[in-house]
Amino acid sequence: MRLLSCGLLAASVAMADGGTAARVFHAARAVAPESGQVTAPAWLLVDGARIVSLGTTRPAGDAGVVELGDVTILPGFIDAHAHLLHVEQPNEDSIVNEAISLSESDRALRGVWLAGQVLQAGFTTVRDLGNSGRGGDVSLRRAVAAGWVAGPTIIASTRALAPPLGQFGRLAPAHQALAAQEYAIVRTPEEATAAVADALAEGADCIKVIVDSGRGRDLDQPTLEAIVARAHRAKVKVAAHCVQAEAAERAVAAGVDSIEHGYQLSDATLSAMAKKGIALVPTDYPGSFYELFAPQRPAEARAKVIASFVEFRERSRARLKRAAANKVPIVYGSDTYVETPLGDRGREMALVFEAYAEAGLTPLDVLRSATSTAAKHLGLPGGTLQAGAPADLVAVEGNPLEDVKALGRPRFVVKQGVLQRSAQ
Ligand SMILES: [Zn+2]
């Protein structure tokens, strides 16, 4: 097997090799997330872009065998909360700096680079939730679908619907246009209905709504309800950014499909989410991750910032534990957008698995959050190894049911039957 570190090169080599013909992937084991059932050894037959069968013996026929070795085959991961067109530096005015410092073309090209990293990490589908400028996510979706660039299948939201100024804290007069570049500003139910229709016309597969901007500017209830009604009429899902408890409570009452972040969730809100089948997308990281953003000196300032991170992390962990105890569907969401010393989106995304495990989710439930549960709640066909499913696969080193960190050790990635990453 050739060692291919570049996704683009891997894709083109695999295609030149006849990557979409019937082939059998042979590995030490495979895990079906829905049941947790382990198939060992695993022989997974793929024909074109679809899975045909999974068994413990080599299937009859003359399909070529791809030897993967001592790895675990899983369905390709799904990230319900990505920002492929957005990178921020960790400082206060970062969202403004990001929005003014790059042209649309710069942003798109950087999005291609990030999409490649995400795919190499085993994420074969991502839902991109805004801060893509006007139409950036739709263009990237088109480029990937057309095979111009290597990347995950993209579910695009276009601009997030938001209260005035969106998530900008303040905007200098010269930068006022940025709010409309990054957000579809809505103030009334009528504007909200029109904004959903506009998003759909621009190519949105789902709607992202900023319920609370964290700056005391919230969407009111009739506006929120109008968004949900118009989106559901078009049969698209509504992903609701909620930080405060009250925002999540109102979003759940309005009938959104997922609560993004949801750092504060009352037991009443969690039980309503479980009853209505509303997913929580906890964009959480392990404690060590947040320390990357604390200033190095002076020591007192560093200690103070770290203490606030520890407290935030403790609260996040406790609410995820309560969500799981209340049987709220948990769907993986990375929300990666801040530049870190790790320097690779894929490596950053792997940390989210560890954060969920830290909160007490079993390795199988962590796996489900990024596969079967994600597919179910996003209304997607993947997330499974069942016959007929898309042949979107990741093979990881080790057994993720024994060691959740194995989810962060992808060795092979297959998208729509084509090998995208291959390393021994
Ligand atoms: Zn986000």
pLDDT in tens, 126-159: 999 999 999 999 999 999 999 999 999 999 999 9
Beta-carbon contacts of 108 under 8 Å, excluding residues fewer than 6 positions away, are 85, 136, 139, 140
User: Which CATH topology does 78-378 take?
Assistant: TIM Barrel (3.20.20)
Would you mind telling me the total number of residues written for the chain in this entry? 424
Whole-number Å distance, alpha carbon 298 to ligand 1 midpoint, is: 31
Interval 196-216 mean pLDDT: 95
What percentage of the chain carries pLDDT values higher than 70? Answer: 94
User: Please, which residues have CB less than 5 A from ligand 1, an ion?
Assistant: 335
Whole-number Å distance, alpha carbon 19 to ligand 1 midpoint, is: 34
> What is the per-residue pLDDT across 107-127, written as a single tens digit (0 to 9) for each?
999 999 999 999 999 999 999
DSSP string, 47-98: ETTEEEEEESSPPSS-PEEEEEEEEEEEEPEEEEEE-TT--B-SSTTHHHHH
Predicted confidence (pLDDT) at residue 15 exceeds the cutoff of 60: no
What local confidence, expressed as pLDDT, does residue 13 receive?
A: 37
Q: What's the mean per-residue pLDDT of the chain? A: 92
Of residues 139 and 290, more confidence is placed in 139
Whole-number Å distance, alpha carbon 81 to ligand 1 midpoint, is: 6
Predicted confidence (pLDDT) at residue 12 exceeds the cutoff of 60: no
From the options 2.30.40.10, 3.40.50.970, 3.40.50.720, 2.60.40.10, give the CATH code of 7-76+383-422: 2.30.40.10
- Where do the structural domains in the chain lie, given as residue ranges? 7-76+383-422, 78-378
What's the CA gap between 370 and 78, in Å, rounded? Answer: 5
What local confidence, expressed as pLDDT, does residue 332 receive?
A: 98
283-317: string of b/e by CB count within 10 Å (b at 16+)? bbbbbebbeeebeeeeeeeeeeebeebeeebeebb
Among residues 150, 143, 154, 161, the alpha carbon closest in space to that of 84 is found at 154
- Binned at pLDDT 50, 70 and 90, residue 95 comes out as confident
Beta-carbon contacts of 12 under 8 Å, excluding residues fewer than 6 positions away, are none
Predicted confidence (pLDDT) at residue 55 exceeds the cutoff of 50: yes
Cis, bond preceding 341 (omega within 30 deg of 0): no
Whole-number Å distance, alpha carbon 304 to ligand 1 midpoint, is: 26
What local confidence, expressed as pLDDT, does residue 8 receive?
A: 39
Whole-number Å distance, alpha carbon 66 to ligand 1 midpoint, is: 37
Of residues 138 and 214, more confidence is placed in 138
If 0-12 CB within 10 Å is exposed, 13-18 middle and 19+ buried, where does residue 340 land? middle
Predicted confidence (pLDDT) at residue 4 exceeds the cutoff of 70: no
Whole-number Å distance, alpha carbon 261 to ligand 1 midpoint, is: 8
Whole-number Å distance, alpha carbon 396 to ligand 1 midpoint, is: 27
- Binned at pLDDT 50, 70 and 90, residue 73 comes out as very high
Of residues 294 and 236, more confidence is placed in 236
SS3 321: helix
Predicted confidence (pLDDT) at residue 333 exceeds the cutoff of 70: yes
Whole-number Å distance, alpha carbon 107 to ligand 1 midpoint, is: 17
Interval 263-275 mean pLDDT: 98
What local confidence, expressed as pLDDT, does residue 1 receive?
A: 33
Whole-number Å distance, alpha carbon 339 to ligand 1 midpoint, is: 14
What local confidence, expressed as pLDDT, does residue 296 receive?
A: 82
Whole-number Å distance, alpha carbon 166 to ligand 1 midpoint, is: 13
Whole-number Å distance, alpha carbon 419 to ligand 1 midpoint, is: 29
Whole-number Å distance, alpha carbon 82 to ligand 1 midpoint, is: 7
What's the CA gap between 45 and 34, in Å, rounded? Answer: 19
SS3 39: strand
Of residues 334 and 20, more confidence is placed in 334
Whole-number Å distance, alpha carbon 68 to ligand 1 midpoint, is: 35
- Binned at pLDDT 50, 70 and 90, residue 20 comes out as low
What local confidence, expressed as pLDDT, does residue 92 receive?
A: 66
- Tokens read off for 136: 């950036």
Predicted confidence (pLDDT) at residue 9 exceeds the cutoff of 50: no
Q: How many CB atoms lie within 10 A of CB 145?
A: 11
- Tell me the pTM: 0.94
Interval 164-174 mean pLDDT: 90
Predicted confidence (pLDDT) at residue 82 exceeds the cutoff of 50: yes
Query: What are 9's strand-pairing partners?
Result: none
Whole-number Å distance, alpha carbon 141 to ligand 1 midpoint, is: 18
- Binned at pLDDT 50, 70 and 90, residue 16 comes out as very low
